[in-house]
Amino acid sequence: MTDARENTGVPVLDVRDLSVRFRMRGGRDIAAVTDARFSVAPGECLALVGESGCGKSVLASALLGLLPANATTTGSAVLGGDTDLLTADERTLARTVRGRRIGLVPQSPAAHLTPVRTVRSQLEESLRELTGVRGSVLREAAVVAAARASFPDGHLDRYPHELSGGLAQRAATALALIGDAPLLLADEPTTGLDRDLVERTVDELRRHTDEGRALLIITHDLAAAERIADRVAVMYAGRIVEIAGAPRFFGAPGPRHPYAKGLLDALPERDFAPIPGMPPELGALPDGCAFAARCAYADARCTGERPAFAADLACHHALTGRTHPLKEAADA
């Protein structure tokens, strides 16, 4: 790292009560994200996990100021203790935030790269724009930038379609690292990659985190999350329902929210049993707990009253790691 970013207790990103609403035709509202609250510290990786369509990627777009025009946001998302990403104007976001203070590792790198230009030319452009490197040293700087993400310099003159999924991912990561941003935002960086490449990609992201960056990784791949994360935030139907330390979450005593437990138990290395039903529509969320309809522990209180997010959990029936007595009653 170029400068000493000491952990002074100030999180790199501090999100408070972030909500995103989409106004649809006919005056209908879609509650894509509701009251999200979390923070990420330097050198820390927070994994945001949940089913597809639960609002994870909308949250990422909100942080980058890339939401469509029909979206409204409330709450705050303070970057580095001074910039609220939700109220900052486009000029600030474009000139000082994207690439410089937040590096984005995209979901499908092959689509993120410009198809008609080589990796070298894209790296050089980012270097010119973000670091001001010019002239003869630019070529050398591009090789160094590629090496930081383990992109082999023999492939620099290739076009994106000539790269495999793994190499395209590394090219995109190299671009994300150029601005030396204190926060890396990785949106499903491992989708469609095979297991070896998933592990290599997350290990590399972990290495960049260990250098002192904060990493927010959005994923539905629980194995990848377990490998990389310090803490896990579980999202369901637009809300964060549980935040827990990764060792506690994946090991003992396990997740406290029944949805998080269901998601883990669905893994083929565990019970391989799906959670019954499907998530509710974000445009028609129930008044009570959004998971109640699929939950074995749900009672009248769950359907009537929405659980508050307190002590990193939003549930009326927190699990303790042992089988819940109500579960037997529900199964019987």
Partner 1 sequence: MLELTRITAGYDRRDPVVRDVSLHVAAGEAVGLLGPSGCGKSTLARVAALLHRPDAGTMTLDGTVIRGWRHRAPREQRTAVGVVFQQPRLSADPRLSLRELIAQPLRSTGRRREVPGRVAELAQLVGLSEELLERRPHAVSDGQLQRACLARALVLEPRLLICDEMTAMLDASTTAALVAVVERYRSESGAALLAVGHDRVLLERWCDRTVRWGERNAGPAERERVAAG
Residue ranges that bind partner 1, judged by CB under 8 A: 50-53, 161-167, 191-197, 220, 222, 262-264, 266-269, 272-275, 277-278
Q: Closer to partner 1 at the Cβ: 222 or 319?
A: 222
Q: Give the span between the Cα atoms of 38 and 62, in whole angstroms.
A: 14
Q: Closer to partner 1 at the Cβ: 42 or 50?
A: 50
Shortest spacing between CB 95 and partner 1, in angstroms? 34
Q: Tell which residue, 109, 117, 98, 101, has the closest CA to residue 171.
A: 109
Extract long-range pairs of 264-270: CB within 8 Å, 24+ residues apart.
264/222, 267/222, 267/223
Q: Closer to partner 1 at the Cβ: 128 or 220?
A: 220
Q: Tell which residue, 128, 123, 197, has the closest CA to residue 157.
A: 123
Q: Is the distance from CB of 24 to CB of 194 less than 8 angstroms?
A: no
Q: Tell which residue, 188, 243, 249, has the closest CA to residue 221.
A: 188
Shortest spacing between CB 256 and partner 1, in angstroms? 18
Shortest spacing between CB 119 and partner 1, in angstroms? 12
Sign of CA dihedral 100, 101, 106, 111: negative
What are the tokens at 54?
Answer: 């639960």
Shortest spacing between CB 244 and partner 1, in angstroms? 17
Shortest spacing between CB 53 and partner 1, in angstroms? 4
Q: Closer to partner 1 at the Cβ: 89 or 269?
A: 269
Q: Closer to partner 1 at the Cβ: 272 or 310?
A: 272
Shortest spacing between CB 17 and partner 1, in angstroms? 26
Q: Give the span between the Cα atoms of 66 and 106, in whole angstroms.
A: 13
Q: Is the distance from CB of 194 to CB of 162 less than 8 angstroms?
A: no
Q: Closer to partner 1 at the Cβ: 12 or 171?
A: 171
